[in-house]
Structure 1
Amino acid sequence: MAAWDAPPYPIRAAGATIPAFVGRAAETSAAEDAWASVRAGGRQVIFIGGEPGAGKSRLAAEIASAVYGQGAVVLLGTCSPEPGVPYQPFAECLEQLLGGTRSGALAGCLPDSAAELLRLTPLVWRHRPELVAPAGDGGDYRRELFDAIAALLLAVGEERPVVCVLEDLHWAGQPTLQLLDHVAQRSARTASRLLVLCTHRTTAPDRSDDLTFAIADLYRLDGVRRLDLAGLSVEEVAQYLVAEGRLSARRAREYATVLRDQTGGNPFFLRELWRDLAGSDVFTGAGAGGLPTRAFGARAPVSVRDTLQRRLSRLVPGERAVTETAAVLGEGGEVLVLIRACATDPATVLAALDAAVRFGLLDG
């Protein structure tokens, strides 16, 4: 039994109105394998990628919640698109760890170089009040700081398994990615009981070349996995309608195919469309016959339209026209038919399709 209580579960990862979680069986199984390795003393890093709304954060939260119930320390840090605190996600994790435990409880876990951690948070003083803040940022302090962070996580892991959830890593700067690389490599060389869950977008313009290269470098190491999330299947959409909409299995299957076509299986689009339909006057409830078929012709919810409009705004007018025409033709539309419908040269159409795929508007 550890001598100190784990910090509380991060409140941002425990929303009050969490929709039903369905599907992701293969991804969940991979996470369970990783957790078994961590409990046995290993280090695991899982990169969870996908388009916006694919359910990356939700999958990470499901994994983190499950292991928290098994005694893990769960820490959550988020990257921001705006310039912020250096090493922001790691700084947030440290603040939760040092601020969420009893004063002095982690004194024995802090390394000799613990003063370097004061560069990220003053909460170090709650556990080692005698430390003197290091000199300013002049000189090469980065290696000492990186070593101190890794040493703290490894020491905590000796008493309780540690899970660091790093959200929106596509917005991380080079310093944060270098720190992640250092922690991953350092913890691979010793018993660590550390699980790092990293969520990131894989579609332009949010996709980060720096992160792509960092993942490629780390993927060579043992214990580093990639989980790239596709859209939910028709069967998984039906499971969602049963769990969230309280529909019968038969009626859920009737609607699942259409909803899958309209949302591409994107969990965010599915949730928003279902909420809009369930709250409209065309929805009469499962007990009274369920959702009329004509409801599927309704206009998309404002939240979905705004999201799609933001993606479409990234295209130049010619690319947008081709994408909108492709959407009208629907899934499985022939490229030759699209070229004739657009009345333009094939190279222009193909280039526009490539752009739409990059921005997550069309499947490749």
Structure 2
Amino acid sequence: MTNDTMRLLFLLALTGHFISGFGSVAVAQQPSEFSVMTWNLEWFFDNQTADNPSELGREKSAPSRGQWDWRRDRVAAAIAKVQPTVVALQEIESQNVMYFLTRAIDRNHGLKYDDYVIKGEDFYTEQDVALLATTTTGVQSISRGVVTPSMKSRGYASVSKHLFAVVEIPVNGKTELLVIANCHLRAMAEKGELRAKQARTLGLWLERLMAGVKASQEIPDQPVHVLVTGDFNTEELAGKISPDSDLGVLMSRGNDDPSDDLVDLHDYIPAQNRTTHLLPGRQFDRILVSRDLVVDTPGVVDVSLRDVTVRSDLNFGGDQDTQDEHWNNYWGIADDQRDISDHNPVLARFQIQ
């Protein structure tokens, strides 16, 4: 190798280029898949209770450091097994526990994720929501909405646990944007009317966020997709959704224009595999997307749905816990048999081709 060649290789290295073989520069490989997983981790609280002002928060914290380590590492292993691009989590305690989780994913599995949390307003349970994203994923912004007294007087309801993010998806040398909403709506079957009001609120915030994203685009006609996910606590079943229900309002984005309705990805899961909760048949945890994410346009490189699954295998320790064991004797179950949560994660994979 001549001195001139050595100098060229050195300069290329300094400027961030990587050499593949002699005399050729490798281009960064474009991803062929983008995936999102949602999971309610059910009281994912560490064992440190000094930062829990509520009695309920202290009661639901892990009883010991060893038990917290077990749960943190089980969740880390589950995420590492499927390696989603973005993970939407519910019932997490704080950004501290997300930091501990991402460090465990890195330490135990060599995978790097960034964590995104903005403290919410559920002061009774202290539960919150969070997003994790691979460190190579471009997260442009995160935000939360605020329900003002004026909004409440017009029929909107507070959504104490939610988080928005604007995420970049590399597609064929260009960048498309995905607006993500991660939310945890009010529990209990009889609270459907309240959840419908929360859905109206989310629809309004989404409309404003989308308008802001499109107005600030540097690239004209840059595609902007929508994904709304989380624990909706809905009683509505896939394929049987009432338009006036909580999920119906959420899918319509709170308006009468059907052209921007969201698609329930549970429709793409076989009926016998749709349950996401310890309560039989319940489909609380969902992923809703804009229609453009389920349509693969012929002859065009785009982002489109590959598959969606309820991944109970990531959650179960052995056979699924019984309700009595899980809710009344959780830490009495053997470590190798105990489920992580009373919710199962839902994973959606999108192909880029």
What TM-score does the superposition give when structure 2 sets the normalisation length? 0.28
Higher relative contact order (CA 8 A, sep 6+): 1
Which of the two has greater helix per residue? 1
